[in-house]
Amino acid sequence: MAASPTSYDAIILGAGAAGLMAAARAGQKGMRVAVLEKADKPGKKILISGGGRCNFTNVNAGPGNFLSDNPHFAKSALARYTAQNFIDLVNAHGITWHEKTLGQLFCDGSAKQIVQMLLDECPDDRVDVICEAEVTAVEHEDNRFAVMASGQIFTAPKLVIATGGPSIPKMGASSFAYDLARQFGLKVVEPRPALVPLTLGGDDVLFRELSGVSAPVSARAGSGKKKAEFAEAALFTHKGLSGPAILQISSYWRHGEEIGITFLPEADAEWLIGLKKDYPRANLRTVLRHHLPDRLADALADRIGIETEFSNVPDKALRLAGQQLADWRFTPNGTEGFAKAEVTIGGISTAELSSQTMEAKKVPGLYAIGEAVDVTGWLGGYNFQWAWASGAAAAEAM
Ligand code: FDA
């Protein structure tokens, strides 16, 4: 019997990266799929991603690039739908791309091409992408889900939560996925902003004077198994710290903890003592100015407080200065919050889901994919790779 207009084999909530991938692949297997999207067009976060060029994957993507309460959860999906699978898809659509840095792949043209590709992958006669359809309620009875969206009711035996996380609320992002998961008795790991600038207060507030200054650093945060170090650029802002190195460590940072920054990643603890031998008339400020932007060099020299030429400074003081430069401690007083966070850490607990299928263990037919789930990638195309992989895993299983 042909399905009536509101009756489908699967309903996908959210036409973002994960939802569109799941819809395309479920449609290709012959399923009748409705994708309900509250915005006026699909894939809005894809469109603004990567500065409009979409960093659509990372060639190095593997489970080690993701944070989750269960670090093993992402393994299966990532192994079954790899960065190469997505690259093959992009190539098949004639979209040209380039590697920018650290395995990050971007469109040569525009992120619009990725959204169009995903829509083109959805067979017209199988998949309906319905925009301006905000889902407000979901019921589950007799193994069917009934979804209320903008005054209409849609029903299906399968329901996929792909409504993302609450980062960038001004784009309409919300905690809808978590509310729905809780309605079905699924636990949610406390959501926090991630890939987000950190704010400085207290003594560190003086560094805010350096707003606009950027330098290559090595930055560290976290403790125990949840710690990480990234060698990339840091940027001082009028509120604190940003730039790729800081965004990366923000995912590992917890309120009250310190972060460590190595300002001269190439230098070792004896570096200044070596300079004292070779250039006894030099001083710390001029040496730092040689390697770092002047304003940053001056700020660091002021705080270290060694003004005289090296020949007058004891080795011990130089060694201490070297150690300080190698592990400068800041205690951020917060983050710039969901308003500025590229992703959300936490989300629907992976303990509730099958890592093979993304199906809820206690609610057969209910799936959760993408950012809604407690799997968060590093900066650099990893979050889209999780969206593609988890979307593909759910579609395969439905
Ligand atoms: P996503 O947020 O994409 O989609 C969820 C959809 O659900 C949205 O379209 C939303 O409107 C819809 N929705 C929500 N509630 C609803 C409701 N009640 N009813 C109906 N629809 C509803 N990652 C990366 O790998 N490379 C990159 O270059 C970038 N760049 C980037 C830039 C910026 C500024 C941001 C904010 C984020 C990134 N990201 C990124 C992260 C990436 O965008 C993010 O991880 C994915 O979009 C997540 O895909 P999802 O499909 O899970 O959610």
ipTM: 0.99
Residue 257 clears pLDDT 50, i.e. is over it: yes
Residue 3 clears pLDDT 60, i.e. is over it: no
Instruction: Kindly report the number of other CB atoms within 10 A of residue 218's CB atom.
Output: 20
Residue 198 CB contacts under 8 Å (≥ 6 apart), including other chains: 240, 241, 242, 246, 250, 253, 259, 330, 332, 334, 335, 336
Structure confidence at residue 235 (pLDDT): 97
> Which amino acid is residue 292, in one-letter code?
L
Does 37 contact ligand 1 (Cβ within 6 A)? yes
Distance from residue 332's CA to the centre of ligand 1 (Å): 27
Residue 117 CB contacts under 8 Å (≥ 6 apart), including other chains: 89, 90, 93, 95
Q: Which of 70-84, 197-211, 250-264 is predicted least confidently?
A: 197-211
pLDDT band at 208 (very low <50, low <70, confident <90, very high): confident
> Is 169 within 8 Å of 340 (Cβ atoms)?
no
Per the prediction, the chain carries an average pLDDT of 95
- Of 225 and 231, the one with more pLDDT: 231
Q: Which of 107-116, 140-149, 265-274 is predicted least confidently?
A: 265-274
Q: Which atom of ligand 1 is nearest to the CA of 19?
A: 51
DSSP secondary-structure letter at 168?
Answer: S
Among 1-10, 152-161, 198-207, which range has the highest average pLDDT?
A: 152-161
Structure confidence at residue 223 (pLDDT): 84
Does 262 contact ligand 1 (Cβ within 6 A)? no
Residue 7 clears pLDDT 80, i.e. is over it: yes
How close are the terminal C-alpha atoms of the chain, in Å?
A: 20
Does 160 contact ligand 1 (Cβ within 6 A)? no
What distances in angstroms separate CA 298 from CA 89, 203, 285, 354, one per listed residue? 50, 16, 6, 54
Mapped onto helix, strand or coil, the DSSP state of residue 325 is helix
Does 207 contact ligand 1 (Cβ within 6 A)? no
Report the candidate in 385, 77, 384, 377 with the shortest Cα–Cα distance to residue 252: 377
- Return the structure tokens found at 127: 């998949």
Report the candidate in 203, 212, 207, 195 with the shortest Cα–Cα distance to residue 240: 207
Distance from residue 107's CA to the centre of ligand 1 (Å): 18
Does 168 contact ligand 1 (Cβ within 6 A)? yes
Q: Whose CA is nearest to atom 32 of ligand 1?
A: 49
pLDDT band at 4 (very low <50, low <70, confident <90, very high): very low
Distance from residue 35's CA to the centre of ligand 1 (Å): 15
Cα 150 to Cα 141: distance, rounded to the nearest angstrom:
21
Distance from residue 56's CA to the centre of ligand 1 (Å): 12
Pairing of strands 188-194, 198-199: unpaired
Residue 138 clears pLDDT 80, i.e. is over it: yes
Instruction: Kindly report the number of other CB atoms within 10 A of residue 185's CB atom.
Output: 10
Pocket test for ligand 1, best of 131, 383, 385 (most atoms within 8 A of CB): 383
Residue 338 clears pLDDT 50, i.e. is over it: yes
Residue 2 clears pLDDT 50, i.e. is over it: no
Q: Which of 57-66, 186-195, 220-229 is predicted least confidently?
A: 220-229
Residue 51 CB contacts under 8 Å (≥ 6 apart), including other chains: none
pLDDT band at 1 (very low <50, low <70, confident <90, very high): very low
Maximum pairwise Cα distance, the chain: 91
Mean pLDDT, residues 76-98 taken together: 98
Report the candidate in 38, 44, 51, 39 with the shortest Cα–Cα distance to residue 17: 44
- pLDDT cut 90: percent of the chain above it: 91
